[in-house]
Amino acid sequence: MGQHGKNGDTINLNVNLLKASAVVVNYIVLHEICHLMVKEHSHHYWELLRKFMPDYEEKTNWLNINGSNLL
């Protein structure tokens, strides 16, 4: 849904995100912003994400179930 630019300082979002709720889009944007600071999905990354969105797992669960419908 999102990806980083070659320099790691830009975020590109898939237009299909318009099909998702604002809550899910907010999660994806925050997910990508956190990757500007921590590149990999290490525990440091998830701790950073949780700091700003404690309930992020609800969004990841929704995406795991419904994400393919956005493509």
Distance, in Å, from the CA atom of 31 to the CA atom of 38, rounded to the nearest integer, reads 10
The pLDDT tens digits for 24-49 are 999 999 999 999 999 999 999 999 99
How many residues are present in the chain?
71
Residue 17 amino acid letter: L
pLDDT at 3: 57
Between 5 and 40, where is the model more confident? 40
pLDDT at 32: 95
On the CB side of 16, CA atoms within 13 Å amount to: 9
Domain boundaries, given as residue ranges, for the chain: 2-66
pLDDT at 71: 85
Distance, in Å, from the CA atom of 18 to the CA atom of 70, rounded to the nearest integer, reads 8
Helices 22-37 and 56-66: angle between axes, nearest 10 degrees: 110
